Amino acid sequence: MPKIPGVSQRDAVRVFEKTGFRIIRQGKHVIMSNGAITLTIPRHNPINAFTLGQIAKQARLTPEEFRRML
């Protein structure tokens, strides 16, 4: 069972914006960067919990930090 629930693409983008990531471009995916790390967020609603867990891991967020920022 994943520790991060599947959330909408908009909620995921909002959480990553709070941690300093900015949207670079949008299309079928939202590409975000903080200067050092680039994230690719699919435009699914909801995003698969396992996919979102891996994206949060790339952003160096723990599942608890991610859930708290929702």
Distance CA 27, CA 68 (A): 28
Lowest mean pLDDT among 21-25, 46-50, 56-60: 46-50
3 state SS of 67? helix
In the structure, what pLDDT confidence band is assigned to residue 2 with cuts at 50, 70 and 90? low
For 55, the 3-state DSSP assignment is: helix
DSSP strand pairing (38-42 vs 22-26): unpaired
When pLDDT is averaged across residues 29-52 and rounded to a whole number, the result is: 94
* Domains of the chain and any CATH numbers: 9-69 (3.30.920.30)
Going from the C-alpha of 65 to that of each of 3, 27, 51, the distances in angstroms are: 11, 27, 16
Q: What is the pLDDT of residue 60?
A: 95
pTM: 0.89
The answer to whether 23 and 32 have CB atoms below 8 angstroms apart is yes
Tokens of 10: 């908009």
